Amino acid sequence: MNSIENHNSDVIIVGAGNAAFSAAVSAAEHGSKVLMLEKTEEKYMGGNSALTIHMRFAYNSFDDLLPLIKFPEKPNDLSSFEKKISLLKDIVTSYSELDYLNDINKVTENKSDKNLSKELVSNSLSTINWMNKLGHFWTPTFENPTSANVVSFDGKGYGLINRWKKIAIQKGVKIIYECPVIDLIEQNNQISGVVVNYKNQNIKLFAKSIILACGSFESNSEMRAKYLGENWRNIKLRGVPHNTGEGLEMAINHGAVPYDDWSTCHASPQDYNRPNFDLPGENKSGDYWSRYAYPFSILVNQEGSRFVDEGETWRGLTYAKTGKAILEQKNQVAYQLFDSKHRRAGVLDNYKNPTVIISNNLNDLANKIKIENINKFLFNIDNFNKNISSNFYNPNILDGKSISNITPSKSNWALELNEPPFEAFPVIAGMTFCYGGLKTSKDGEVLDKNGDIINGLYAVGEMLGGLWYKNYPSGGGMMAGAVFGKKAGEKASIK
């Protein structure tokens, strides 16, 4: 396409991730001519959404999940699959709207915007069903159906994004790649278009509504240092390198208000040798380098001391804050410690090609990972082992096998570290996105400092502020992207 000025659009979507596509398809369904503008080349579209696995949504019973599941077509595969489904149905409990809200309030210290969180939760299942009718499917999480992650995207996030693309094109949505938006156009007290840099030319594109869905600022080292602190400047990304915050800055320059906590973010435990960032692709996931077995580990710093309750609750409710705790340790590194009992229990099965140090002796292991105070390290392990409750160990439930008389305590999955070989997995923090965003209505309409709507401007996905503070429940961001993207697309079309 040599010229794009002739595009006649009602709604322009900036970005091409889950929230962007939700908005685009919703707008198209309500009669709008929709144009999507994607910063990257086509093969890398989708942003962090293309690296995800699931959305967190409320459901009443397993019967709500069955229509979402894609069953195998081959008879032999189908028989085995149906048996697994039957077993899964027996162990899966409901995840009510109240459960969802309680999880949000707990992990955000009750600071999530009550209107937005209620809107997210109450619309989660209906939005999932809308996506299912459009052609999205899920697969059961047979290996560990916990923490509201009973089903995952068929084809992971990459499959989700490619389905969204197909659905959007079928609805008449136009997508232009390698077309970054560099400014908004304001006319007569309304945002009426965007300025793009396309093939080295600055071009103005006009529309009735502009929906920003172009991510946070996690890929911008200067913004990380400014808002999160200097120790975040050089952090590795558990995500794409393209979310550099221009959308947020453009909106603020045109009257939008930063909302909620720009000083906290999603940061999780990652392999010590992970790359600086991830790029979308088939069979690629942001979790390849993730080291999420820490709830079952003894997690120590370079000084040989524990510093968090590893087993506080389900991993999906603690992982996004644990990265920050690791970043705060000396050398910004920690070590997940396991022994042969953990290996037999299967908690390390998802660690593919990890960085690991192995020894048959704890003293030798401490030397290998350069623990600074080995006597303190050995004392801490011995003290941990001696103070474990006698509860039965079960990594598939909140088993209550705990330690309460040492600091920090461990609430679940406290297992003695005493049976070699011992394994130490060095981990660092990897950032995914910032929790702060822009102040919006429940329909994604961007608000100014007076609380008034900035006509023609919407923000969804990671750009919508108010939901998360210090921590967040896994899959909550993807669900918010779909819920508020859908609502923004509809509202922009009606206007």
Q: Are 15 and 214 in contact (CB under 8 A)?
A: yes
Strands 138-140 and 34-37: unpaired
Going by pLDDT thresholds of 50, 70 and 90, the confidence category of residue 148 is low
Q: Please name which of 25, 17, 81 lies closest in space to residue 45, comparing C-alpha atoms.
A: 17
Cross-strand partners of 438 = 258, 464
The pLDDT confidence band at residue 1, using thresholds 50, 70 and 90, is very low
Determine the Cα–Cα distance for residues 253 and 265; give it in Å rounded to an integer. Answer: 23
Mean pLDDT of 165-182: 98
**pLDDT reported for residue 75:** 82
Decide: 442 and 116 in contact? Cβ < 8 Å.
yes
**pLDDT-derived band at 111, boundaries 50, 70, 90:** very high
The pLDDT value recorded for residue 8 is 85
Q: Are strands 258-259 and 437-438 parallel, antiparallel or unpaired?
A: antiparallel
**Average pLDDT value for residue range 450-460:** 98
Residues of the chain above pLDDT 90, percent: 87
**Band (91; pLDDT cuts 50, 70, 90):** confident
pLDDT confidence of 42, banded at 50, 70, 90? Answer: very high
Q: If pLDDT is split at 50, 70 and 90, which confidence band does 2 have? A: very low
HEC assignment per residue over the chain: CCCCCCCCCCEEEECCCHHHHHHHHHHHHCCCCEEEECCCCHHHCCHHHHHCCCCCCCECCHHHHHHHECCCCCHHHHHHHHHHHHHHHHHCCCECHHHHHHHHHHHCCCCCCHHHHHHHHHCHHHHHHHHHHHCCCEEECCCCCCCCCCEEECCHHHHHHHHHHHHHHHCCCEEECCCCEEEEEEECCEEEEEEEEECCEEEEEECCEEEECCCCCCCCHHHHHHHCCHHHCCCEECCCCCCCCHHHHHHHHCCCCEECCCCCEEEEEEECCCCCCCCCCCCCCCCCCECCCHHHCEEECCCCCECCCCCCCCHHHCHHHHHHHHHCCHHHCEEEEECHHHHHHCCCCCCCCCCCEEECCHHHHHHHCCCCCHHHHHHHHHHHHHCCCCCCCCCCCCCCCCECCCCCCECCCCCCCCCCCEEEEEEEEEEEEECCEECECCCCEEECCCCCEEEEEEECHHHECCCCECECCCCHHHHHHHHHHHHHHHHHHHC
Q: How far apart are CA 427 and CA 316, in angstroms?
A: 18
pTM score over 0.75:
yes
* Residue 492, burial from CB neighbour count under 10 angstroms (0-12, 13-18, 19+): buried
What is the model's pLDDT at position 286?
77
Higher-pLDDT residue of 453, 148: 453
Short-list 297, 303, 307, 424, CA closest to 371: 303
- Tell me if 219 sits within 8 A of 241, measured CB to CB: yes
Q: Is the pLDDT of residue 346 over 80?
A: yes
Percentage above 70 pLDDT, the chain: 98
Hunting for tokens 């999530």 — which residue is that?
A: 112
446, exposed or middle or buried, with CB in 10 Å at 0-12, 13-18, 19+? buried
Contacts of 263 (CB under 8 A, 6+ apart): 227, 228, 229, 436
Judge whether 224 and 233 are in contact, CB under 8 Å: yes
Structural domains in the chain, sorted by start: 11-216+435-494 (3.50.50.60), 268-430 (3.90.700.10)
Mean predicted confidence (pLDDT) in 471-485: 97
Look at the block and give the residue holding tokens 């793009």: 196
Condensed to tens digits (0 to 9), the pLDDT of residues 43-66 reads: 999 999 999 999 999 999 999 999
User: How much is the pLDDT for 249?
Assistant: 98
Across 2-14, average pLDDT: 84
The pLDDT score that the predictor gives to residue 113 is: 97
pLDDT digits (tens, 9 = 90+) for 396-454: 889 999 998 899 999 999 999 999 999 999 999 999 999 999 999 999 999 999 999 99
Least confident of 34-43, 78-87, 203-212, 436-445: 78-87
Backbone angles phi, psi at 57, to 5 degrees: -140, 155
Reported as a single tens digit per residue, the pLDDT across 294-331 is 999 999 999 999 999 999 999 999 999 999 999 999 99
pLDDT of amino acid 5: 75
For position 56, what pLDDT does the model report? 96
Give the residue from 138, 31, 119, 47 showing the smallest Cα distance to 463.
47
Nearest to 421 by CA among 344, 353, 346, 369: 344
- In our burial notation (b when 16+ CB lie closer than 10 A, e otherwise), range 249-273 reads ebbeebbbbebbbbebbbbbbbbbe
pLDDT of 350-398, one tens digit each? 999 999 999 999 999 999 999 999 999 999 999 999 999 987 999 988 9
Q: What does the pLDDT read at residue 315?
A: 92
Give me the chain's average pLDDT, please. 95
User: Residue 2 is which amino acid?
Assistant: N
- The whole-number average pLDDT for the span 243-252 is 98
Mean pLDDT of 238-251: 97
Q: Provide mean pLDDT across the span 75-83.
A: 86
